[in-house]
Structure formats: C-alpha cells, structure tokens
Amino acid sequence: MKNYNVGLVGVGAVGTEMIKVLKERNFPCGKVQVFASRERDEQILGETYHVLKADENSFKGMDIVLFAGKTDVAINLKDAVVKAGAKMIDNSRAFRQDPTVPLVVPQVNAEDLDWNNGVIANPNCTTAIMLEAVAPLHKAKGLKRVIASTYQAASGAGAPGLAELEQQIREYVEGKPLTVSAFQHQLTYNLIPHIDKFDETNWYTLEELKMKNEAAKMLHIPDLKLSCTCVRVPIARAHSESLNLEFEEPITPEEAREILSKAEGVRVVDDPLNGGYPMPLDATAKYDVLAGRIRQDISRDDGKGLEMFVSGDQLLRGAALNAVEIAEHLIKRGLV
C-alpha cells in the first residue's frame, strides 16, 4: 500500500486528536509534519515533534494537509496547499459555505468528494453529530423539518474552554471567586444559551445558523427547515442534542431503530426503562454517535414525526475522526 505524506496545521485539542486518530486507524502515513505559528519542539501524545512555522512554502511534498487551526490561517494558506498539489481538509468555518468546496461527513455524502478542487471542509461538530443519526433516516423517509436543542460541552470551545471549566470546579470547591474568561458567564452549575456571536437580524447565534446552513448543503435540501437553540453545558467533553424530526413519509420508532442499527457511525442505545439512553459520558472518546429516546412525536397525528436524543464526542466524531475519514475516502476513491 502506498504511504501518504500528511501535514497537520495546528496543535491544539483537535490537532492532538487528529494525530491520535491517525495512529489508531493505522492511516498509511509516510512523513507526518506538524505546522504552527512558530517553529519549536512540541510533546504530543508522548512523542516529540519538530513543529515548523506554517507559511506559503510549507507544503511541498505533502499529499494531505489537515487543518485544525483558526479560520484566518486556513484562508491565508489555502492557495499554498492547493499549489503544492496536496488535498486540504479544513476543520474551520472558512470554506463550509463556499459552493466550490464540498462539505463532507463520509457516512452522509462521501460522493461530494468527487468534485473537490483541492479543498474539503469539515462541518461544525454539532452538525456532524446530528447528521450521522439523521441522514440515514432522511435517505429512507425524506427529511422535511428539524427542531433541535443542543447541549454542548466546554471542550467545544477548545482547550481554553475545558481548562476554564476544570479551574472553576476547583475554585468552587475551594470557596474562591470563579474565573470567567473563556465563556460569557460562569459555566459551573450553570447553562449558557449563547454559543458564538448573535446575528442581530434574527437573534439566532452563528452556531445555530451553521447547523441550518451546513445541514442543507450536505443533505442537498436547499430549503430545509431547521431551527435550533445551542446551549453550553458544564460537561467536559461530548455534545448532546434533542431532535424533533419531521419527514415526508410516515415513520415509526421501530423503523427508525432498524435503520439506525445498520448505519455506519451510529450505535442505538434505546432501552429507557432500564436506563439505556445516550449520555455524553458514554459517548466520550467513542467513534460512534449514540442515538436513543426514539419515540413518535405525540403532537402530530400523521405519523411523520419523531423525537430522538443523540450524544457524540465533538473532538473525535465531530472533528478529528471525520477529518481522517475524509482522507481515507479520498484515497479509497482514488482522489489523492
């Protein structure tokens, strides 16, 4: 099997997880080169990597470059990656709504990789987790409308968010004033219905609008009706979502469980009478999205509505794993 030279731009929480996933999945790596804003030696998962400064001359000889950094970094370096002949898989929001860039979760729309021009976008983690469970049902019954409430972990704000939650817990136990800087308010013993900036034309946050726009693009439903409220919760890792789904055709909970039991990337956990339902603790560090609490929407009388609850590790399933799976599918489809 051919080996592929892999670049990684960004060594934060997602970048570290990408290196871990490459190793776990025995990705056919030749050279692995890490890039960041400055040159240095960095300990990553117990190994020392010589990190190079990322610039327009960094990517010669690379086959695939995973971006786990900021949006402006991805925008500034995109042309350099493409010029070097590498495939860029970007985890930022820089290109997600660019009509010339495929936005991909392989289990949902791998076929969109075929029209890439050197850049592939990784969706927002919350969208990715939702669509892992929703796309198989859409393919069977035709999705029409989604009402979602999300419960998003501190680590969704990166390493600073997770560190602040842990610091606040220590400070609370010690009776000290709580540090508040990564989030708008104290997160410990609290919920914050505010993730990303507000759009002052409709008062949705950009995180909420991402879910609508990205789902519509990936499912190829331009007029998809989707409304959501995104909430930050004092959980270390793994996002959860409550989903109310409306379909074009009637669907029963039994049908939904059967469809999802055969879906790659999903594990049905739906035994509520015995405490079996998705929880972020159980989804942490797991590849699959957990799906459960599947039930008929009793506010409807046409059989076309379902309620469902899902949990998924946003650093892994919603980011690092998805990026590596995109790379695997590029190889599988002969695109790199």
Asked if residues 278 and 254 have their Cβ atoms less than 8 Å apart, the reply is: no
- How many angstroms separate the Cα of 196 from the Cα of each of 130, 206, 207, 262, 312? 18, 6, 6, 35, 20
Q: What angle do CA 22, 28, 32 make, to 5 degrees?
A: 60
Phi/psi for 247 (5° steps) reads -115, 165
158: tokens are 């990166």
111 half-sphere exposure, CB direction, 13 A CA radius: 4
Catalytic residue annotation: 125, 239
90: tokens are 């970007």
Rounded to whole angstroms, how far apart are CA atoms 43 and 116?
Answer: 34
Beta-carbon neighbour count of residue 184 at 10 Å? 10
H or E element in which residue 314 lies? none
Rounded to whole angstroms, how far apart are CA atoms 138 and 160?
Answer: 36
Asked if residues 215 and 133 have their Cβ atoms less than 8 Å apart, the reply is: no
Rounded to whole angstroms, how far apart are CA atoms 157 and 160?
Answer: 7
